């Protein structure tokens, strides 16, 4: 509200000042080259250059590549015939596009929901003081420190249908062996479970930091008014944690959308394409089938989806600042 009132007040003043504009350019020209402004520009240049080289160039190159017939030949001859949107047509009309899009959505939603809920529960748990708290919390970081390819190889043997330790354990409880990675209806769930395990440390760490920032006085005051337990969580913890939560969720979504190594290591997109995601499609088209143009088209679609979430996040954040 306050911002709109401000602009409506300043507008007439601006219009009134219009006739005097004639003298402005010279003064502003001088101001443009003032020492202060040059310094400002110099501060911006390194960052701008960095963004241009390491973000701008790859993105532009990827977009251009997706509009070309870019194959192994291109690397030697440098020739990549322009094919317009043909690669995108190939991508969207391929039988695997919609299943892999749906898998990407299920994988992302499933992973984020699991990681976040378990992460928040653990973060809240570790907020209490108890012996070995710090030690256990640092042990929790282990999955994060393991190289993903090691983690996925380990999980592949844990989830093996016949001799995997998980099925052996379930067997002692009288549960029949679950075909974790070999049944198309279970494989995606198995892959999501592993990804949840990998994502928990990140969620715990950030959420724990957020919880530490909530002043204890709020809880003390709340307790006086009868807000304890769930009520305290709902009325004190949650509202204060919201900025942290939105960061965790956004980063989580962007990380999860592009997950590649875990799925490659566990199932390689199988069984029977049950764990194909857009990232896997992009990788396989580019580095297995050597159709770099089609692979680039897949990854551009993925980037577009990530961008969508980034915009949602920025909007949500701007509203918070305004509030």
Contact residues toward other proteins (CB under 8 A) are 28, 32, 37, 40-41, 44-45, 48-49, 52-53, 72-78, 94-96, 156, 160-163, 179, 181-184, 267-274, 287-290
Choose between 43 and 238: whose C-beta lies nearer to other proteins. 43
For the CB of residue 286, give the shortest distance to other proteins in the complex, in Å: 10
For the CB of residue 53, give the shortest distance to other proteins in the complex, in Å: 7
What are the distances in angstroms from CA 205 to CA 121, 124, 152, 158, 160? Answer: 12, 11, 22, 26, 31
Which residue has tokens 């580095």? 287
For the CB of residue 130, give the shortest distance to other proteins in the complex, in Å: 41
Tokens coding 277: 């995601």
User: Residue 316 CB: number of other CB atoms within 10 A?
Assistant: 13
| Residues 46, 2: Cα–Cα separation, whole Å | 36
Choose between 286 and 300: whose C-beta lies nearer to other proteins. 286
For the CB of residue 318, give the shortest distance to other proteins in the complex, in Å: 17
For the CB of residue 245, give the shortest distance to other proteins in the complex, in Å: 33
Choose between 48 and 102: whose C-beta lies nearer to other proteins. 48
For the CB of residue 102, give the shortest distance to other proteins in the complex, in Å: 16
Choose between 184 and 243: whose C-beta lies nearer to other proteins. 184
Query: Among candidates 60, 74, 68, 113, which has minimal Cα distance to 88?
Result: 68
For the CB of residue 246, give the shortest distance to other proteins in the complex, in Å: 28
Choose between 25 and 131: whose C-beta lies nearer to other proteins. 25
Tokens coding 303: 């980037």
Contacts of 176 (CB under 8 A, 6+ apart): 170
Contacts of 269 (CB under 8 A, 6+ apart): 263, 275, 276, 280, 284
Residues in the chain, total: 323
| Residues 32, 16: Cα–Cα separation, whole Å | 25
| Residues 237, 262: Cα–Cα separation, whole Å | 33
Say if residues 269 and 313 touch (Cβ distance below 8 Å): no
Choose between 45 and 307: whose C-beta lies nearer to other proteins. 45
- Measured N-to-C along each axis, helices 97-127 and 238-257 cross at an angle, to the nearest 10 degrees, of 140
Choose between 28 and 134: whose C-beta lies nearer to other proteins. 28
Choose between 32 and 228: whose C-beta lies nearer to other proteins. 32
Contacts of 60 (CB under 8 A, 6+ apart): none
For the CB of residue 72, give the shortest distance to other proteins in the complex, in Å: 5
| Residues 204, 208: Cα–Cα separation, whole Å | 6
């Amino acid at each position: 509200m306050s911002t709109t009132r401000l602009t409506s007040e300043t507008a007439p003043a601006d219009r009134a000042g219009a006739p005097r504009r004639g003298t402005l350019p010279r003064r502003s020209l001088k101001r443009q080259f003032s020492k202060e402004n040059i310094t400002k520009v110099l501060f911006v240049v390194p960052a701008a250059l960095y963004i241009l080289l390491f973000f701008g160039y790859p993105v532009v190159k990827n977009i251009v590549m997706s509009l070309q017939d870019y194959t192994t030949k291109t690397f030697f001859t440098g020739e990549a015939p322009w094919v317009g949107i043909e690669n995108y047509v190939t991508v969207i009309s391929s039988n695997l596009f919609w299943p892999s899009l749906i898998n990407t959505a299920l994988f992302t939603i499933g992973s984020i929901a699991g990681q976040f809920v378990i992460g928040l529960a653990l973060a809240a748990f570790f907020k209490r003081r108890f012996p070995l708290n710090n030690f256990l919390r640092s042990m929790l970081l282990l999955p994060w420190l393991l190289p993903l390819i090691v983690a996925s190889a380990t999980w592949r043997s844990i989830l093996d249908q016949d001799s995997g330790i998980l099925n052996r354990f379930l067997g002692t409880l009288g549960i029949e062996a679950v075909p974790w990675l070999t049944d198309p209806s279970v494989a995606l769930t198995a892959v999501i479970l592993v990804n949840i395990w990998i994502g928990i440390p990140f969620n715990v760490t950030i959420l724990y930091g957020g919880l530490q920032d909530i002043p204890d006085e709020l809880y003390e005051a709340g307790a006086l008014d009868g807000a304890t337990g769930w009520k305290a969580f709902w009325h004190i913890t949650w509202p204060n944690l919201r900025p942290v939560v939105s960061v965790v969720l956004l980063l989580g979504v962007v990380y999860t959308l592009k997950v590649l190594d875990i799925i490659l290591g566990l199932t390689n997109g199988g069984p029977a394409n049950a764990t194909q995601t857009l990232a896997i499609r992009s990788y396989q088209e580019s580095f297995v089938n050597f159709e770099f143009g089609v692979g680039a088209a897949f990854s551009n679609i993925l980037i577009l989806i990530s961008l969508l979430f980034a915009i949602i996040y920025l909007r949500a954040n701007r509203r918070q600042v305004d509030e």
